[in-house]
Amino acid sequence: MNDFIKSIKERDPAAKSTLSIVLTYPGVKAVFLHQIANFFHVAGFDLIARIISQTSRFFTGIEIHPGAKIGKNLFIDHGMGVVIGETSEIGNDVTIYHAVTLGGISPSIDSESQRHEKRHPTIGNNVVIGSGAQIIGPVKVGDGSRIASNAVVVKDVEENTTMVGVPAKAVKSRNKGNFTPYGVDQQVKDE
């Protein structure tokens, strides 16, 4: 837990104190409640799991399906409007801003056949996903990659790559400096 709080301080310049993070960060509550929802989901209590998930959505504005698999130190900043689908998988030390979707393909006819398929993204370690970005379908986003604000990703993304635009295109390899959730120009300027 201490590691998690420390990692948030490193990622949010506005984070003032541990007490403030525990009490007032919706993303911290949402990840905690997801662990409980996921416990009931794995145990087969689908309805209880979903009620916990929707209660969390009501209090935090963040909707994580109880079936989603989430790694260590996921930080959802601001978080309002985030939707993480049932078969999503998220690695360690990932940062997700508000209004991000890890979404599925919209079925037009045959929803039943997709009920047990992988329909949502797999996110690697140390990925940053900017506000409003939409990642749709069973695509993979490689370790260390960054998805810009309002970008729409519908294909696999390689490691350490910044994706920008609608539809999203790779800009260039990540540098070690700061990152604007949109941030092409900064990226290019720094290198």
Smallest distance, a second copy to C-beta of residue 2, A: 17
Q: In whole angstroms, what is the distance from residue 34 CA to residue 77 CA?
A: 16
- Residues in region 126-185 near a second copy by CB under 8 A: 128, 130-132, 134, 136-137, 146, 148-152, 154-155, 164-167, 176-185
Other Cβ atoms within 10 Å of 115 Cβ, number: 10
35 binds a second copy (CB under 8 A): no
Q: Facing residues of 162 across strands?
A: 146
32 CB contacts (<8 Å, ≥6 apart)? none
Residue with tokens 């145990």, as numbered in its chain? 43
Smallest distance, a second copy to C-beta of residue 43, A: 14
- Residues in region 6-25 near a second copy by CB under 8 A: 9-17, 19-20, 23-24
Smallest distance, a second copy to C-beta of residue 84, A: 10
1 binds a second copy (CB under 8 A): no
- Residues in region 91-110 near a second copy by CB under 8 A: 95, 97-99, 101, 103-110
Residue 137: left if φ>0, alpha if ψ -120 to 50, beta else—which one? Answer: left
Per-residue x/- track, 48-87, a second copy (CB under 8 A): --xx-xx--xxx-x-x-x-x----------x-xx-x-xx-
β-pairing verdict for 140-141 and 128-129? unpaired
